[in-house]
Amino acid sequence: MRAAIDALRAASTVPAKQRKEKASSVVDAVCSHAYQHGLSRDLLESIVQIVTRRNTLDQTSLTNLVKNLYPADSVSSDLVVTIIGALGQGQTKPSAATQAALLKWIIAVIDVLDDATVLSKLYGVLFNLLDTMSLRTPLCHLLSLVTRRKHVRPFRIQQLLELVRASGQDPALVGLLRVYKDYYPEIIVGNAASGRTSFASATQDEWRHRLQAIQEANAERTEQFYAQQNGFKVLLPTGQDFLNSYLPFWDGWTHSEAVLGLLTFVPMQDFEAEAAIVSSGTPDAYDRLLGFYTSLVQNWNHAANSSPETCHTSDYTSQTENFTALTVHTSNTILSLLTSQNHTPLTTTTSILTYYTTLSTLSSTLTPLTIPSAPTLYTLLFQPSLATLSHLCTLLATYKRAFEADLHEPGSGATLPRAVTNAFNGYLMDVANLLWRSRALTAADPNAMACLCPPSVAAALNTHLATLPPILIPDHDHDDGDGGPTLTPAPGTGPDYALPSHFGLANNALTAPLAAAALRDLEDAARVSSRHPPGPVTQRSLYRLARSNGGGGGGLELSWKAYRVRVLEWLAEHGVQGVRDFMFVTMKDLMREAAATATATAAGDGNGGVV
């Protein structure tokens, strides 16, 4: 087809008497192919470039070409602009008959344009061509399809009325004027818009039916083509050969994005060769390396689970060992990144969590569920970033759902060693103890690991906390005898200092300000007169607040559990969804408590709320 169009282009520049071959045979071949299969975008543009310029082809050939411009795909805006630019008078413009045929073609393909607004943008150009008698009928038809209220301007109404009067009620102009009158009936009055109109054509309907059949067939072929692909790129042998020769001399930085992109599609193999890749110490090198490992585990997991060769025992074992070697190496690399820096950037911790989030979705018999190592998880848990804490909690909730899915799926539970399950249960217990149960850094519960904090360290921290003096705040309810308020220890300080509860939602350095803000919102909603004193919210301070309500002080009555559930909801409402998700997945009774808290909060009155 490309050769035929090249021959057609050559014939269009040579007078008929000087041609060695008849152009009609080439035109027939092009038209036959276009009618049967449609024209791809580049072929369509090539033919339009020929017919939109004055050439030596006879009018019959040009008309046949335009009538058989069946696009197999959508029509680009550039093509429409090319055709509109070929309209009007000019030595290089095509004949009037060809211009009219091109306008009719635009009308026929108006529903398959890439950008439906391109004709609206060219409205002024089209309207100014109404003076051209040979184009008036298809122009009016096209304008009637494109016209919107913004196009109907007074000067256009006036010009259109003058054209209708001068043409003696031309049916095409009358039809366009009726469209204008639909938008502004109070302006166009009288019999100006009355008369016969003619736009519809049975030939165009047949042409559109053929176009629809061609495009449906092309879409089906495209769908069948993509159905043969597995959706994943495959590295060609030449690419592997290039990497084998280039990597020994690679400096770890030059063209790193392209090199790592190729390496993510290396077929599954002994990981020792992959482990030799070392990136330079640039600020974003760790992030790029982690992104590479994330893509690599995705591709290797797909390769292992979609390859028919893995049905053999030897291949099965090899694939599993290779995948395990990759994840072990990556886990060691991640732990090295976390422990070799005084401060791990947020982008790096996010890349680490993204890698493990990807791993949490790749469980199968060939690639069993892989969890972070305990040092990695607890290092991330104590990062000074609320975003990291929320992301980590989301990751643990995702892992828990994956574990439950594996256990409920027949035969899949065998892929999870008991040691892995116990370790993960220990993670859940430690995080819940830390944030919720006020048992931080303790190993009394089953599977708990005290966040790997040795008992001697925990004892030393407890001893240090016992030496800290309380923070004193004025107590306006009691007089010190000199006319001033009595100074009393602030909530969460002094006798309330305790290591097991020091990392809870109300005391944690990352969540304490937000937990206090959640209580203020509850107090504002309940319109209480007695407010919680400055400082972290504790079980004791809530009890005192409730007693002040009983004594007529107007304080908020709120249980310790209900308050913490409200904090979880408040955090989720303000972008910290992960902590809530983790708690609700880990502790099923919190869902019921959350529903009860929401109902009671809505029922609170202005004289002291009860939750």
SS3 472: strand
pTM: 0.56
Give 600's Cβ-side CA count (13 Å radius): 19
Residues 9, 138, single domain; the answer is: yes
Residues 260, 132, single domain; the answer is: no
Give me the residue label for tokens 């053929």. Answer: 210
Residue 555, in any domain of the structure: yes
Instruction: Look at residue 464 in the predicted model and tell me its pLDDT.
Output: 86
Residue 57, in any domain of the structure: yes
Reported for 20-29, long-range contacts at CB under 8 A and 24+ positions apart, including other chains, are 23/57, 23/58, 23/61, 24/61, 27/57, 27/61, 27/64, 27/65, 28/64, 29/4
Residue at a domain's end among 204, 221, 250 = 204
Residue type (1 letter), 316: Y
Q: Contact, 320 vs 367, CB < 8 A?
A: yes
Residues 8, 142, single domain; the answer is: yes
Residue 422, in any domain of the structure: no
Task: Tell me the pLDDT band of 246, cut-offs 50, 70 and 90.
Answer: confident
Residues 254, 361, single domain; the answer is: yes
Residues 140, 238, single domain; the answer is: no
Nearest to 541 by CA among 484, 488, 595, 487: 488
Over residues 599-611, the pLDDT tens digits come to 655 554 443 433 3
Residue 417, in any domain of the structure: no
Residue 526, in any domain of the structure: yes
Nearest to 601 by CA among 501, 523, 499, 538: 523
Residue at a domain's end among 155, 188, 204 = 204
Instruction: Look at residue 280 in the predicted model and tell me its pLDDT.
Output: 45
Q: How far apart are CA 116 and CA 348, in angstroms?
A: 44
Q: How far apart are CA 360 and CA 401, in angstroms?
A: 9
Residues 136, 263, single domain; the answer is: no
Q: How far apart are CA 382 and CA 376, in angstroms?
A: 10
Q: Contact, 441 vs 430, CB < 8 A?
A: no
Look at the alpha carbons of 45, 50, 52, 53 in this order and tell me if their dihedral is positive or negative. positive
- The percentage of the chain sitting over the pLDDT mark of 70, rounded to a whole number, equals 81
- Domain limits at 579? 486-602
Residue 430, in any domain of the structure: no
Over residues 116-158, the pLDDT tens digits come to 899 999 999 999 999 999 999 999 999 999 999 999 999 999 9
The domain total for the chain is: 3
Residue 457, in any domain of the structure: no
Strands 485-489 and 472-479, bridge-based pairing: antiparallel
More confident residue, 140 or 292: 140
Residue at a domain's end among 355, 370, 385 = 370
Over residues 300-334, the pLDDT tens digits come to 888 777 765 545 555 567 778 888 888 899 999 99
Give me the residue label for tokens 């030596």. Answer: 56
Mean pLDDT of 454-467: 89
Residue 529, in any domain of the structure: yes
Nearest to 589 by CA among 565, 568, 560: 565
Task: Tell me the pLDDT band of 434, cut-offs 50, 70 and 90.
Answer: very high
Task: Tell me the pLDDT band of 484, cut-offs 50, 70 and 90.
Answer: low
Structure tokens at 470: 């309380």
Residues 135, 243, single domain; the answer is: no
